[in-house]
Each structure stands twice: as C-alpha cells, then as structure tokens.
A and B are shown apart, each in its own frame.
Chain A
Amino acid sequence: GDSVTQMEGPVTLSEEAFLTINCTYTATGYPSLFWYVQYPGEGLQLLLKATKADDKGSNKGFEATYRKETTSFHLEKGSVQVSDSAVYFCALSDRDSGTYKYIFGTGTRLKVLA
C-alpha cells in the first residue's frame, strides 16, 4: 500500500539556520503531496502542496519540490525562526484511490532555539 516516510525527530536548530526535513513516499498511482504543520495544542494547517512532478510548493519561506524520480518531497527553509517550532507532517493523496484519503508520515518535531 501507499506510505510516507519522514526523517526521525526531533530536529533542533538555532535561529536562522537552514532546515531540511526529508520525506519520501511510495504510491501505486500518481499522488499529490503535502506538508502540514501542527503547532502545540492546535490542529493541522496546510503549509504547502504539489500536485505533479517538478512542481514546487512554497509558503512562509518554506519550499518543497515534487521529485518523481527519487519519490521525494523534502521540506526546506533557508532561515528558521523560533516561531517555526512545531511538528511537520508529510502526506500524500493518491488520486487513483478514488477517495483521495491522506496517508501521513510519522511527523518530525522541529525545535528552534533563540
């Protein structure tokens, strides 16, 4: 079945450091890919998305590129802030499934220190 694999956390960075959170996927069809962020005590917020190969999703300084050849969708940010501390979830939605349900990765906790 479809699956998403994320790097283990927590990731601890100093403010203004460069962030990469790795995400790879397996899917029988041609999925859409997403990054969601969950701040402490809150729900899931869509951070960015990409629906086809080579698409780059971007939002709030975060970017991720849909790489079909490596089945990856790594999240990057050039300069993190303390306010970026949260849990980040990579997810896919397989259009061929007919229901568009999401498969989530395990989440990666990011801690940014001042």
Chain B
Amino acid sequence: EPEVTQTPSHQVTQMGQEVILRCVPISNHLYFYWYRQILGQKVEFLVSFYNNEISEKSEIFDDQFSVERPDGSNFTLKIRSTKLEDSAMYFCASGILSYEQYFGPGTRLTVT
C-alpha cells in the first residue's frame, strides 16, 4: 500500500539555523499539506499546496517558513531561522479530491 514518507525522523538544530524537512507524498496525489504538533497539544494546519503554489496558509506560517516541490516527487518545508518555539512534530500529508489525507510518520524537530 502506498504511503507518505518523511525524512529525517528526528532533527536537532540550534536556534537561528535553517532546517529543511522532507516528504515524499503518494505519487498520484494532488494536494499537499504540512501540519505541526507541539508536544502534548493539538495538530495545527500550517500550509496547503496545490498546482505548484500555496493554496492556503495559517497565521503560524510566517515569512520564516517556505514550501516547495522541487522535482515533482519531494515536498519540502524550510524554516529559515529556527526558534525554540518551532520545536514540534511536523507532519506531511497528501490527498486527492476525496478529502481523505494520508499522513506521514512525522519529523520531530528539536531546536536548542
């Protein structure tokens, strides 16, 4: 069964550093998403991506964040200058028109 994969599973970085979180969505899906979950809290929407552009973003997704789909298979989330409060689990998801999103296993980002 196809699945969404994410790398790395755990990333530790220092405050102010740039990080790139990578995702490989399911191959025939059209919609791509990033969510995050701060430890012990609810899952929050960050951004959705369709037709090679951002279709919606939340208030959390400020200028420090960016997404791209560089090669038609990978979907990346970049945080330009990480802050302590960016420490969270980041989930990638992909979906087709059926409103059902498939989530990856997540990348735990720890900012020190």
Contacts and interface: CB of A to CB of B under 8 A. Distances in A.
Interface in A20-49: 32, 34, 36, 42-46, 49
B105 A42 contact: yes
B91 A101 contact: no
B42 A95 contact: no
A101 B56 contact: yes
Contacts of B44: 104
Interface string A87-114: 0010101010111111111110000000
Contact of A46 (B56, B100, B104): B100
Interface residues of B, number: 23
Contacts of A107: 42-43
B45 A103 contact: yes
Contacts, number: 58
Nearest to A31: B99
B56 A99 contact: yes
Q: Is the interface of B mostly helix, strand, loop or mixed?
A: strand
A102 B42 contact: no
A106 B31 contact: no
Contacts of A91: 43
Interface residues of A, number: 25
Nearest to A43: B105
Contact of A106 (B42, B56, B95, B100): B42
Given A46-B103, A100-B101, A101-B33, 13 more contacts: A32-B100, A34-B100, A43-B103, A43-B104, A93-B99, A93-B101, A95-B99, A99-B55, A100-B31, A102-B93, A104-B42, A107-B42, A107-B43
Interface of B: 31, 33, 35, 41-45, 48, 50, 55-56, 91, 93, 95, 99-106
29 contacts: A32-B100, A34-B100, A42-B105, A43-B91, A43-B103, A43-B106, A44-B43, A44-B91, A45-B103, A49-B100, A51-B99, A89-B42, A93-B101, A97-B56, A98-B56, A99-B48, A99-B55, A99-B56, A100-B95, A100-B99, A101-B33, A101-B48, A102-B45, A102-B93, A103-B45, A104-B42, A104-B44, A106-B42, A107-B42
